[in-house]
Amino acid sequence: MSGILQYISDCDCTITKGFIFIAFAIGVFKLTTTTLSFASIIFDSYILPGVNFSKYGANKGNWAVITGASDGIGKEYAFQLAKKGFNIVLVSRTESKLETVATEIQTKYKKQTKIVAFDATTDAPENYVALSKALEGLPVTILINNVGQSHSIPVSFLDTTDEEMMSIITLNNIVTLKVTKVVARLIVSNVGKSKNIRGLILTMGSFAGLIPSPLLGVYSGSKAFLQNWSGALAGELKPEGVDVELVISYLVTSAMSKIKRTSFSIPNPKQFVSSTLKNIGRRVGAQERYATITPYPSHALMHWGIETFIGVYSKTVNKINLDMHLSIRKRALKKAARLEAEKKQS
């Protein structure tokens, strides 16, 4: 650095000196902010203690509503919030699965449960009526919008069937918004009765919503929609005492991702939910986005690296995503052809 400063002082041209000094100052500023930003991720991920959920009414008889609660990430949210001291309303399509999860929560965590069989693939008015009735009189302070759907395999927009397109938009967007409207009114009412308790609404986002994702166009767009909607809702409900956050994730082992083995960048639902609940209110990897969190450490580093050095809307990232999904589609079609051949032989 001393050499650079000496070079600047040796320059004869005042204008040149000015430009060089400005460029140097900008470089130092950028390096400093980038270093501090990276340090913040490490601090949030590995050093800071977990958030105390007493501010959301833990162990005070309050309830959390979780959609898509019968499997995977939703089921894990139910378990971990019950462990933190909340009664749980389980919302999903299959009643038998909900009953199994409810029994486990009652047995293991000694918390009350309610189940609502709700087919989120349809925008049926009776679903919201049933949900409203189930929540009557409950001091609900938390909503987890976890239910979601992607494409069965990567597919171009022009080849996406109308049925799949509408199913994704209905489930990811229309149903999520309508459920939130039902539950958020209760949360606002309940936290308004107590100055010491806040409400919390978490909505599951995705890297596909963070980065335009060719061959997952409808899913990518539906998740990007949730980003802006959730951020707007956060601004509206903050004065009402309700925290709203979009949770961005890369891949997690689940039925939807079709991935069974964990790795450095792919946690299981328990690991992912634990990181999320630990870091509520901290952006971790989503440092440039209000009311957004990328909580899992490796996902946070990926988000930060893409945003800092390449750009989430860059041509490079778009092309990488396209090539990756082309490869996934090729393997999926090959597997489907093999299974069909085996079926015919049998």
| Binding site members for substrate | 206
Give dist(CA 49, CA 47) in Å, integer: 6
Q: Which residues contact 163 (CB under 8 A, 6 or more apart)?
A: none
Length of the chain as a residue count: 346
Q: Which of 219, 250, 290, 313 is catalytic?
A: 219
Could you give the C-alpha distances from 189 to 136, 202, 265, 315, in angstroms and in order? Answer: 12, 18, 39, 46
Give dist(CA 101, CA 113) in Å, integer: 9
Q: Which of 287-291's residues contact partners 24+ apart within 8 Å by CB, and which partners?
A: 287/37, 287/40, 287/41, 289/227, 289/231, 289/246, 290/231, 290/234, 290/235, 291/230, 291/231, 291/234, 291/235, 291/244, 291/245, 291/246
Annotated binding-site residues read 206
List the 113-117 sheet strands across, edge first. 113-117, 87-92, 63-67, 140-145, 199-204, 242-247, 292-293
Q: Which amino acid appears at position 272 of this protein?
A: F
Q: Which residues contact 49 (CB under 8 A, 6 or more apart)?
A: none
Contact by Cβ (8 Å): 100, 49: no
250 is catalytic: no
Catalytic residues: 219
